Amino acid sequence: MTSVSLRTNRAGLGISITVIGGLCFSIQDAGIKWLSAEVAVLQVLFLRSLFGLVFLGASTRVTGERISLLVDRPWLLLLRSAINILGWILFFFSLKYLPLATAVALFFSFPLFLAIISVPLLGETVGLRRVLAIIVGFIGVLLITNPTTGISVPALLMLGAALCWAIVAGLTRILGEKENTSTMLFQTLLGFVLILGIPQLWVWRALDPVEYLLVIGVAFFGVIAQFSVTKAYAIAAPSLIAPFEYTALIWAAIIGYLVWGDVPDAFAIAGALLIIGSGIYVIHRESLQKRQANLEYRP
């Protein structure tokens, strides 16, 4: 097999895995939304993390990655876990009240936040074109929240979740220099279980068998989604893979319509298109910048 065909096959596999990952993320989110209508959000997040640890342990047999209890920068990992927990809590509470497709579209504003925070956090530069793309993206955010009625509290919570995830992504880039994905995910899930175990004294209630199956499904599809996206980025160029993450919006719209009868209005569709377009452009510009930097410093 030639190197060109090998790259083509790896690119095709990476895109396929990314699309599957987007579907798994959407199924996870739908399960969370369904559960949070009857079960306390903190209990859902606790159980999702607990079962997630089990599935993560099983997945390491597939990935071959070893989970380490000792990390090089524990305080930075602790900060990442704390922000991650806050982001998931905001995400869960918001998802309870927003249509699935709207929630996912707002959450996908995180590349815009990441482009902004990458300046102080990662020392990157953001040029004029990326600044304009970020502005266009946030216009899309305003459209999704429907400017005729004003920004709702759940929408603000989802934007807060997107900001948290952007910070987590930035910290992951730093930690990823020395820690593997399974270790970071294990430490995060373990932190979730330990911290969220305390509120269970007040919010816990017995679940019926169907609810337990939903929780297990949420944890299973969440781990599969995380593994899929991580694997896709490992075998294909990020600039190629990242745009296909937005297929999660399509899956979310389909699931939202089939389960809850949600139909996005014109504002939501226009806003989602602006967020997708600006997000893809920001990712593209970042990829070009890294490629140019590699060429400049190649020995």
In a domain, 271, yes or no: yes
Q: Which domain holds residue 191?
A: 19-296
Most confident of 50-64, 85-99, 107-121, 178-192: 85-99
Mean model confidence pLDDT for the chain? 80
In a domain, 108, yes or no: yes
With beta carbons less than 8 A apart as the criterion, state whether 264 and 272 touch. yes
In a domain, 32, yes or no: yes
* Burial 134-162, CB ≥16 within 10 A → b, else e: bebbbbbbebbbbeeeeeeebbebbbbbb
In a domain, 1, yes or no: no
In a domain, 10, yes or no: no
CA distance 81 to 195: 10
Which band of pLDDT confidence, cut at 50, 70 and 90, is reported for residue 296?
very low
In a domain, 240, yes or no: yes
Which tokens belong to 227?
């593994």
In a domain, 266, yes or no: yes
Q: Is 70 exceeded by the pLDDT of residue 286? A: no
Which band of pLDDT confidence, cut at 50, 70 and 90, is reported for residue 297?
very low
Find tokens 């004294």 and name the residue.
201
State pLDDT tens for residues 185-242: 788 888 889 888 999 999 999 999 999 899 889 888 988 887 787 677 667 766 667 6
Q: Which of 181, 170, 203 is nearest to 83 (CA)?
A: 170
CA distance 125 to 243: 21
In a domain, 247, yes or no: yes
Q: Residue 65: left (phi > 0), alpha (psi -120 to 50), or beta?
A: beta
Pure H helices in 176-208: 181-196, 200-203
With beta carbons less than 8 A apart as the criterion, state whether 116 and 124 touch. no
* Burial 52-71, CB ≥16 within 10 A → b, else e: bbebbeebbeeeebebeeeb
CA distance 133 to 173: 22
The structural domain count of the chain equals 1
Q: What is the mean pLDDT of residues 140-157?
A: 80
Pure H helices in 126-246: 128-144, 153-175, 181-196, 200-203, 209-235, 238-241
Q: Is 80 exceeded by the pLDDT of residue 287? A: no
How far, rounded to the nearest angstrom, does the alpha carbon of residue 147 sit from its chain's CA centroid? Answer: 26
State pLDDT tens for residues 240-253: 676 788 888 888 98
Q: Is 50 exceeded by the pLDDT of residue 299? A: no
Which band of pLDDT confidence, cut at 50, 70 and 90, is reported for residue 6?
very low
State pLDDT tens for residues 101-124: 888 888 888 878 877 887 777 676
Helix (H) or strand (E) holding 255: helix 247-260
pTM: 0.80
Find tokens 């640890």 and name the residue.
53
